[in-house]
Structure 1
Amino acid sequence: MMVPLKRRKVCGPVSDRGTTVKFPYVVIFLVERKMGASRRAFLSRLGRKNGFQVEDDFSDCVTHVISENNSADDVRTWLDLQQKGNVTVELLDICWYTESMEAGCPVEILAKHKLQEVQKVKEESVEFLIPSYACQRRTSLDNHNTNLTDALSHLAENAELNNEDGRAVAFRRAAAVLKALPVKVTSITQLRGLPCLGEHSQRVIKDVIENGVSSEVESTIHSERFKALKLLTGIFGVGAKTADRWFKEGIQNLTQLANSGHDLNRAQQAGLEHYYDLNQPVTKAEAEAIGDIVKKAVLDVLPGSEIILTGGFRRGKITGHDVDFLITHPDEGKEVGLVSKVVSWLTARGLLLYQKNTRNSYLESEDGPAQPPSNMDRFERCFSIFKLEKKEMHSKHLHPGTQSSDQKTSIEHLQYFQANDLSNSQMRPNRNWRAVRVDLVVSPISQFAFAVLGWTGSKLFERELRRWAGQVKSMSLSSHALYDNKQCKYLRATSEEEIFTHLGLEFIPPSERNA
């Protein structure tokens, strides 16, 4: 900011620093903006030493305003703020001041010394109008800019693997903006005025548009570190921190991990054993086949229950990484303990290769929700690896469709796995079933609408919903409830539409939440 007006100084022939003023007709004020306080102080002392009158504060007696890296418009704006807009002063660049110091007297003011006017160009019309928050815009599965969004997603994934969450979210938000555009982007100028596109993201986008690929992205995805961390985090139960620790120990593939002597937990053992299956995309038909089995299990142990297939499949995707089911019962309280009963039913029939149950730990307080340790909700649930018989898969009509991004990612992942690790026969075990990641989540009916919204995704859409709730509406949103921090009360809802209304947002159907 400019140095504010403090008090008017009395002009006189003697400097307030005790030096004689040689040029009383020149009273100088140095603008601190972009110059910095320390440089301004040094230049002020230099001027006074050479007999110039340099004022610390702007006043009516100032005749020469000296600025560095500011336009004439910038300085005039500042003068207006000081209510000095009509004062006749010379607006000069720092070069006049330094030349005067060298000459030992005020030099003649030439055109080059005067602050330049900003050349105002005719503003181009903004091609796209996109809201800042992903929860304000509709994003279908029709992505016209996969080349750009894939590049940004690779950088986001790399940031996540390196525990750089802020950078990862920035890239995800930039990619989400591009996904929402109705046409293919062919010039960086088309993105003028769009939100969430930082300088780094724009450099990557420009590189892809002009050269077909981003050199930074190519360097990243072909690095040994990225490939190894991606491979290791593909193991169920292994996060970025664990993978990074193993990589630093020299472990870069599954054979090295298996021979390392590490004591893997149950989840990691199951993840390593079923690595190939769990990194294959799950089709909609497979998800529905598992859904038929889960529905039978749930209704057998608690008749009247409701089961919904959530996640990407609810948003219209034809493949996914896992399968999520949300379960409730219309009578509040009857759902308690349902997970353990369903797990027993499935286990008795040999349908679970791995399972871990958690109890519902959510507590509602009159003072509002406490800050959770993570964004993970606290429902009763079961994380499992399901054993799906191939006869169940083929009982559904399979539609090959086009290759989705999930399929492309899994294929690339497994090609690297094949090239660096096990043989083809080991990768593709000859058996009549496959392993599938399945989550069973049980919600009380009073929280069911929030749970459905939270478990539908996409991950970024949900993050943006919570950000909108907190930053714009002063509310706290989770998969359990919505709390109004101004009214100090919970806002109840029995449908997703009601939650959007509470948040002051237009309702967006699941098929358009693919941010």
Structure 2
Amino acid sequence: MVPLKRRKVVSSGAGSAGSDDVTSPTRFPQVVLFLLERKMGASRRAFLSQLGGKNGFQVEELCSERVTHVICENNSGEEVRRWLESQVGSPAHLLDVSWFTESMRAGRPVEILDRHKLQEQQINEVEVEAFSTPSYACQRRTTLDNHNAVLTDALSLLAENAELSDEDGRGVAFRRAAAVLKSLPEPVTGLTQLRGLPCLGGHSLRVIKDVLENGASSEVEATKQSERFNALKVLTGIFGVGVKTAERWIRERIVGLQQLQDSEQTLNRAQQAGLRHYEDLNQPVTRAEADAVAAVVEEAVASVLPGARVTLIGGFRRGKLTGHDVDFLITHPEEGREAGLMPKVVSWLDSQGFLLYQKTSRNSYLEAEDGPGRPSSNMDRFERCFSVFKLPEEARRGAEEARRGAEETEPCSSSPAAVSQVKGEGLKPWRAVRVDLVVSPISQFAFALLGWTGSKLFERELRRWAGHEKAMSLSSHALYDNRQSRYLRASSEEEIFAHLGLEFIPPSERNA
């Protein structure tokens, strides 16, 4: 719960708001009002305070023990009461702004009815056990067994909408709230169970309350119907297209793929590939398809550098059965042997007809320059290749059959993209798959493995824990102790967790 901040004093007068020339004598000494600015806004609060003063009400600028009625707008009762109890104790009444406006119209304090009171969950706390969980996602074990998918899906959609609107702060807030719910051992049935849990702000709680009471969130449903949101989803779904480019196209009235194809927009190589293979790249990649790609990558690496190791990372390492791409981390047990490996691997893959698109970047990480002094970033500096693979249907099917034979699972249906029709070509015997290749020196391998395993929020929380709680700087390259002014070396993920003072959490429980 992010605490509500006490409003700063903006008036030199102690006590009621408004100046003497607009404030009538107090007519109701037993009623002392405080208008909460949060979500009401400063200008509206000032206007309502002045209105109250004109009608003979005492309106306090700051909340104190004298206050008898707290007036709020768009706040939940639980979050306001929790804040007030931490500040001045619990006042007599927490009221919606509707009580205030009705009192202004009546010229006196009207009777307080149930509809005027801020809504607080009325569940018997003996019957419903409250949950508890640590503040940081990197302290929590989060499996793929999500008991609150309806709630987390709603919050995740709002997070996505915030991120597409360049409001990363709101996006992270929703992601953290969803992560808390994902970690809970049982389904949430009422808001009382969430009392005291971290990262659940007022906005998230209102969404949760809406879903629990009505089966869906009106805000989420409105977002799903938003033309802008849907246009941004479609356009940023093109490989190589970011939010800023998509927004520029929308301003030019390009909101769909056909309009983009018909326009005279100049697309770079990545965007051309993304548009050409849009259907494939927006279909989930199955674990069988990831295994098929892995077999190809392992053959390529073994052909150009015997002894090198290839590790499947990302969501598939965490146990996910589908993903939007396939990521591999490559290293060699001998430091330095990995240098120059990527161009050779890419050349082999290209010669075998596996690459529809590729862009390779060199390793630009220098420990002395880019370590502790470098601003925290989600991006690392490894040698890497962003590519679009041409995965033959035969290879995908073979890997799927092998996987079924190795373990009893539900049959994976053929990916729609793998058998999609191409105009004039009938059934396509391959599908396009996003594949990222990353090469790491063995000395940085443990950090790269941790950083590239995810989830994204889990990694963000690890870095936040390192900085805020341990005065350390963590990246996918290294861990630096700012107090001791030295690097902390590690040859395994377990050692990194130990350096950070955290209990080791295996990949399968990092699905925050």
TM-score interval, normalised by the smaller of the two chains:
0.7 to 0.9
Matches within 5 A, 1:373-452: 374-396=377-399, 397=401, 430-452=427-449
Aligned to 2:360: 357
Shift of 1:37: 3.9
Change over 3 Å in CA distance of 1:341–1:42 after alignment to 2: same
Structure 2, unaligned stretches of length 5 or more?
Answer: 1-5, 26-57, 69-121
Query: Which of 295, 298, 301 pairs up with 1:295?
Result: 298
Q: Are 2:280 and 1:286 equivalent residues in the alignment?
A: no
Shift of 1:39: 3.1
Query: Which of 259, 262, 268 pairs up with 1:259?
Result: 262
Rounded to whole Å, the distance in 2 between the matches of 1:45 and 1:325 is 67
Residues 238-274 of structure 1: CA distance to partner in whole angstroms, max 9, x if unpaired? 0111111111110111010011111100000000000
Shift of 1:207: 0.3
Q: Are 2:317 and 1:314 equivalent residues in the alignment?
A: yes
Aligned to 2:14: 40
Say whether the 8 Å CA contact 1:329–1:444 is kept in structure 2.
Answer: yes
Aligned residue for 1:142, secondary structure, equals: coil
Aligned residue for 1:507, secondary structure, equals: coil
Give the share of equivalent positions with the same residue, in percent.
Answer: 67
Residues 269-327 of structure 1: CA distance to partner in whole angstroms, max 9, x if unpaired? 00000001101110111101110111011011001101100000000000000000000
Matches within 5 A, 1:240-255: 240-255=243-258
Say whether the 8 Å CA contact 1:282–1:321 is kept in structure 2.
Answer: yes
Matched residue type, 1:39: G
Residues 181-236 of structure 1: CA distance to partner in whole angstroms, max 9, x if unpaired? 00011111111111000000000000000000100000001111111100001100
Say whether the 8 Å CA contact 1:450–1:480 is kept in structure 2.
Answer: yes
Runs of 4+ in 1 over 3 A off after TM superposition: 32-37, 41-47, 66-69, 123-126, 398-404, 423-429
Aligned residue for 1:387, secondary structure, equals: strand
Matches within 5 A, 1:159-170: 159-170=162-173
Say whether the 8 Å CA contact 1:368–1:489 is kept in structure 2.
Answer: no
Shift of 1:71: 2.1
Rounded to whole Å, the distance in 2 between the matches of 1:200 and 1:340 is 48
Q: Are 2:204 and 1:201 equivalent residues in the alignment?
A: yes
Rounded to whole Å, the distance in 2 between the matches of 1:153 and 1:427 is 39
Say whether the 8 Å CA contact 1:323–1:438 is kept in structure 2.
Answer: yes
Matched residue type, 1:480: H
Rounded to whole Å, the distance in 1 between the matches of 2:464 and 2:424 is 42
Residues 429-463 of structure 1: CA distance to partner in whole angstroms, max 9, x if unpaired? 72110000000100000000000000000000000
Aligned to 2:481: 484
Say whether the 8 Å CA contact 1:204–1:216 is kept in structure 2.
Answer: yes
Rounded to whole Å, the distance in 1 between the matches of 2:500 and 2:228 is 42
Aligned residue for 2:466, secondary structure, equals: helix
Matches within 5 A, 1:145-164: 145-164=148-167
Query: Which of 503, 507, 514 pairs up with 2:504?
Result: 507
Shift of 1:342: 0.2
Rounded to whole Å, the distance in 1 between the matches of 2:301 and 2:197 is 47
Query: Structure 2 length as normaliser, TM-score?
Result: 0.74
Q: Are 2:220 and 1:212 equivalent residues in the alignment?
A: no
Matched residue type, 2:14: R
Rounded to whole Å, the distance in 1 between the matches of 2:180 and 2:492 is 27
Q: Are 2:65 and 1:71 equivalent residues in the alignment?
A: yes
Rounded to whole Å, the distance in 2 between the matches of 1:270 and 1:434 is 13
Shift of 1:394: 1.0
Aligned to 2:273: 270
Aligned residue for 2:445, secondary structure, equals: helix
Residues 487-512 of structure 1: CA distance to partner in whole angstroms, max 9, x if unpaired? 00000000000000000000000000
Structure 1, unaligned stretches of length 5 or more?
Answer: 1-31, 51-65, 75-120, 415-422
Query: Structure 1 length as normaliser, TM-score?
Result: 0.74
Aligned to 1:17: none
Aligned residue for 1:434, secondary structure, equals: strand
Say whether the 8 Å CA contact 1:476–1:484 is kept in structure 2.
Answer: yes
Say whether the 8 Å CA contact 1:138–1:508 is kept in structure 2.
Answer: yes
Root mean square deviation of aligned Cα: 3.1
Say whether the 8 Å CA contact 1:483–1:489 is kept in structure 2.
Answer: yes
Aligned residue for 1:39, secondary structure, equals: coil
Rounded to whole Å, the distance in 2 between the matches of 1:427 and 1:190 is 58
Rounded to whole Å, the distance in 2 between the matches of 1:485 and 1:403 is 51
Residues 43-99 of structure 1: CA distance to partner in whole angstroms, max 9, x if unpaired? 89969xx9xxxxxxxxxxxxxxx994422699xxxxxxxxxxxxxxxxxxxxxxxxx
Aligned to 1:128: 131
Rounded to whole Å, the distance in 2 between the matches of 1:316 and 1:334 is 30
Shift of 1:403: 11
Aligned to 1:369: 372
Matched residue type, 2:450: L
Aligned residue for 2:133, secondary structure, equals: coil
Q: Are 2:240 and 1:237 equivalent residues in the alignment?
A: yes
Say whether the 8 Å CA contact 2:317–2:508 is kept in structure 1.
Answer: yes
Say whether the 8 Å CA contact 1:161–1:229 is kept in structure 2.
Answer: yes
Larger Rg computed on CA atoms: 1
Matched residue type, 2:460: R
